[in-house]
A and B are shown apart, each in its own frame.
Chain A
Amino acid sequence: MKGSRIGAWIAVIVGASYFIIPLLGTLEFSLRMRRGVYSIDAYASVFTDPQFRATFGYSMLMALLTIVFGMLLVVPTAYWVRLRVPRMRPIVEFITLLPLVIPAIVIVFGYLRMYNSSSVLPLTGNAMGTNILLVFSYITLSLPYVYRAVDTAMRAIDVRVLTEAAESLGASWTTIMFKCIFPNVMSGVLSGAFITLAIVMGEFTMAALLNRPAFGPYLQLVGANKAYEPSALAVIAFTITWLSMGLLNLISGARRGAPAR
């Protein structure tokens, strides 16, 4: 008993060290920009860089749009599949998994062929069109995670009975969706949203090949040309991700104690 507990602790320490030591190394390196002393010069350099603010703001906006439009696509789809065509579920699940096996570069080249300036729908012909295309591509990339998060949340409630109860009380389809279904799958929507945020903030291929000023290509650019700033950016990116995860845990923890509102 005592031996197995020591073994478990050793496993935890080794596992934690595997993740923490490189991070500590990165953090430590990011603080050594000024020779001989620890400083936050690298962070100051990053935060004062107008490109950082521009790309970070741009990617945050893209993430927000991806979350909103992604949820408007995924929640009604998952709901409809559960309610009306449950036999289609394996097919829909397979389709949502495709972005995991089709490389982003293949998808983006497909976009470039389909929506170039000489096509019927020349989305790449202007910045707004390309931004729309980028949001679509982010929705595609996050689909495997978002669909599963929402579908799992739907499994926790009896979608069919709630729908029928609302219908018998005179509710229309939109009322059912926004008053009865969305609030009750909010935990899935939130976890999907945070995963989407993390994906969008770090995505490089789509943004670079569509030539958009996103945070992913900026990270790559800084990494290729500077020494300490990339480490600072990595720490910042980790912090953002952790904050997202922490927020997710906080919200889902609060939701375990209280219902969705």
Chain B
Amino acid sequence: MSFLALNNIQKSFGPVQVVQNFNMNIEKGEFISFLGPSGCGKTTVLRMIAGFETPTGGTLYINGKDQRPLKPNQRNIGMVFQAYALFPNMTVYDNVAFGMKVAGAPKAETDSRVKEMLGLIKLDHLADRYPYQMSGGQQQRVALARALAVKPQVLLLDEPLSALDAKIRVSLREEIRAIQRQLGITTVFVTHDQEEALSISDRIVVMNAGKADQIGTPFEIYNTPATRFVASFVGTLNLIEAEVIDPASNCIRIGDQDITLKQSLASYNGGDKVSLALRPEAGSLSEGIKSDTALTGQVVSAHFLGSVIRTRMDVGGNVISFDMFNSPGVTPPVAGETVTLRFMAADLLVIRD
């Protein structure tokens, strides 16, 4: 059995089922991100692991032990909240020491552990400060130290970076990942920010309407999205509607242009509609690019974004975006111009609804 095993977890609030048959096996020391839009059930799953919500159905094991009969204060789980949740009446030192004091740890052990944790987050010089005297980033680091001080078997992070500004978010997420690696602690991270999830996770669970649409490494999630939802939520993927022409030869038609896919269409019939996904960075107007297929269409717009030029072109009613790297020699296409987008057929993926 995996270190953290969630089997057929369900949760309903009245008639509304917010988590449906959620399955997930997490190995010890893994960093897993739950990624999805607001209301997809990711925080509810996290709260069920923490014990703040009771599953309506399914089982939940940590290190082989059934967690369902245990109250939140019996689970030995560290949790970091979006709103920091530091105790305003306590100093940084007292906040970090809280869990150990509650557990009745000897004073010397508590003192040494608190100092170790404050050293880990590099805030040992602020031990006497109160939360209101610190920035959001500092408060969240203290919250992390507090959660880790009790040596939890699992660390849960509930959108811990959402309340911080962009620069702090990037540095803190790297810091969280470094600390997680250093301590080897099993971590579940909830976020709606795909960049965050892609950058720090061992695996990502993309959640949609209470279900896990896809579980995979960041590379798999980004490059081979399993569903239309994953494709649209992760990255800026082009979704192209096409018609199956010949399943045997994997031939499809986009507008009036035929393309042969690398992916098998054996489960389709001629005339079936399929959704295809193509990453904006997969195509290029340049003839020099390595490509084995192309689509021709009219430029709808071209936007200069600094390092790249994002161009939108119309192919048989499908608007496809693609990025060109900016350089002094590049001339951006103009609206109405007919262009040919070249790419590898293997980059054009058939996705489920």
Inter-chain contacts of A258 with B (CB < 8 A): 130
* Bound Cα distance from A52 to B146, whole angstroms: 54
Stretch of A119-127, A140-148, A167-175, A228-236 on the interface side: A167-175
Contact of A167 among B73, B89, B103, B147 (CB under 8 A): B73
Whether A169 pairs with B85 at a CB distance below 8 angstroms is: no
CB distance from A93 to the nearest CB of B (A): 25
Q: Contact between B85 and A171 (Cβ–Cβ < 8 Å)? A: no
Known contacts A166-B87, A166-B98, A258-B130; 17 additional CB pairs below 8 A are A162-B87, A165-B79, A166-B102, A168-B78, A168-B79, A169-B102, A169-B147, A169-B150, A170-B73, A170-B103, A171-B73, A171-B98, A175-B102, A179-B98, A180-B89, A184-B88, A261-B89
Complex CA distance for A162 and B84, rounded to whole angstroms: 9
- Tell me, yes or no, whether B219 is within 8 Å of chain A by CB: no
Q: How far is the CA of A168 from the CA of B79 in the complex (A)?
A: 6
A158 on interface, CB distance cutoff 8 Å: yes
Known: A164-B79, A164-B81. A259 touches B147 (CB 8 A): no
Chain B residue at minimum C-beta to C-beta distance from A172 = B73
A238 to chain B, nearest CB (A): 34
- Distance, CA A260 to CA B87, complexed state (A): 10
B102 touches A170 (CB 8 A): yes
| CA gap between A179 and B51 in the complex, in Å | 21
Chain B residue with the shortest CB-CB distance to A175? B102
Q: Which of B73-104 contact A (CB under 8 A)?
A: 73-79, 81, 83, 85-89, 98-99, 102-103
Chain A: minimal CB distance from B270 (Å): 56
Residues on A with beta carbons closer than 8 Å to the beta carbon of B85: 158, 161-162, 164-165
A243 at the interface (CB under 8 A from B): no
Considering only residues 173-194 of chain A, those with a C-beta below 8 Å from chain B are 175, 179-180, 183-184, 186
List chain A residues, Cβ under 8 A from B247: none
| A-contacting residues, B32-52, CB 8 Å | 50-52
Chain A contacts of B103 at CB under 8 A?
A: 170
A168→B130 contact, CB < 8 A? no
Bound-state Cα–Cα, A162 to B98, Å: 12
Given contacts A158-B83, A165-B81, A259-B130, contact A170 B76 (CB under 8 A): yes
Binding site for B on A (CB under 8 A): 157-158, 161-162, 164-172, 175, 179-180, 183-184, 186, 258-261
Measured in the bound complex, the distance between the Cα atoms of B89 and A123 in whole Å is 41
The residues of B that contact A171 with a CB separation of less than 8 Å are 73, 98, 102
Nearest CB of chain B from residue A3's CB, rounded to whole Å: 43
Which one of B52, B87, B132, B150 lies within 8 Å of A170 (CB-CB)?
B150
Nearest CB of chain B from residue A258's CB, rounded to whole Å: 8
Contacts of B102 in A (CB 8 A): 166, 169-172, 175
For A169, list chain B residues within 8 Å (CB): 73, 78, 98-99, 102, 146-147, 150
Cα(A42)–Cα(B43), bound, Å: 69
Shortest distance from the beta carbon of B275 to any chain A beta carbon, whole Å: 41
Nearest-neighbor residue (CB-CB) of B82 within chain A: A161
Is B72 part of the contact surface with A, judged by Cβ < 8 Å? Answer: yes
A180 nearest CB neighbor, chain B only: B87
Q: Which residue of B lies closest to A261 (CB)?
A: B89
| CB <8 Å contact, A168 and B77 | yes
CB-CB under 8 A from B99, the residues of chain A are: 169-170
B86, B89, B147, most chain A CB atoms within 10 A: B89
Residues of B within 8 A of A158 (CB): 83, 85
Pick the most buried of B51, B78, B99: most chain A CB atoms within 10 A of its CB. B99
Nearest to A171 among chain B residues (CB) is B102
- Complex CA–CA separation, A168 to B81 (angstroms): 11
The minimal Cβ–Cβ distance linking B50 to chain A, given in whole angstroms, is 6
B88 to chain A, nearest CB (A): 5
CB of A183 within 8 A of CB of B73, answer: no
Which residues of the partner chain A approach B130 to less than 8 Å between Cβ atoms?
258-259
Please, how many angstroms separate the alpha-carbon atoms of A182 and B73 in the complex?
19
Give the distance in Å from the alpha carbon of A179 to the alpha carbon of B156 in the complex: 23
Tell me which residues across on chain B come within 8 A of A165, comparing CB atoms: 79, 81, 85-87, 143, 146
A91–B102 alpha-carbon span in the complex (Å): 35
A166 vs B267: C-alpha distance when bound (angstroms)? 53
Question: In the assembled complex, which residues on chain A have CB atoms less than 8 Å from the CB atom of B132?
Answer: 259
B51: chain A residues at CB < 8 Å are 167
Contact yes or no, A167 B72, CB < 8 A? yes
Cβ contacts under 8 Å, B79 to chain A? 164-165, 168
Given A157-B88, A158-B85, A172-B73, also A164-B98 (CB < 8 A): no
Most buried by A among B51, B75, B77, B98: B98
